[in-house]
Amino acid sequence: MGLEQKLGNLGIVTTKLEDVVNWSRTNAMWPMLFGLACCAIEMMAAQASNYDMSRFGMELMRASPRQSDLMIVAGRVSRKMAPVLRRLYDQMPEPKWVIAMGDCASCGGVFNNYAIVQGVDEVVPVDVYVAGCPPRPEALIHGILTLHEKVRGEKLRDNA
């Protein structure tokens, strides 16, 4: 209804190509299932009916990296898992973004020892960090909306 009012009878709308591209990227960003530990449960709760993430375009979570654009690293990344994480990140097609969900993915969290990578940004470049142990589903959604704002501000030549 809103779009027709703006268009009138013309059927033509003028805008910047960047805006259209970024709008389409944010409104249908498909996350890749990368739930590792406790944050995965909160991610599942964010996907469930109380804090529905489908309202923001993330209707499905794709298990295959080839079909997703967003990787939400939810949980602690151990040293054994780090090469797997990098490999999956490399398999995702451009454009891709990474959200580090939770304290363990952001900075190692409670665990400062031999087995946990201290922050997933040692393995993949991260766009948004969501704090919390585990972050509430609303915090995760806030992180996703922050990412949407970041994507809306991207220029075409960033991903060229």
Binding footprint of another protein on the chain (CB under 8 A): 33-38, 40-42, 44-45, 48-50, 61, 63, 75-76, 78-81, 84, 86-88, 90, 107-108, 110-116, 118-119, 121-125, 133-134, 136
> Of 29 and 108, which CB lies nearer to another protein in the complex structure?
108
SS (H, E, C) 60-114: CCECCHHHCCEEEEECCCECCCHHHHHHHHHHCCCCCEEEEECHHHHHCCCCCCC
Distance between alpha carbon 150 and the CA centroid of its chain, in Å?
11
CB of 34 to another protein, least distance (A): 6
Q: Which helix (H) or strand (E) holds 158?
A: none
CB of 100 to another protein, least distance (A): 11
CB of 65 to another protein, least distance (A): 8
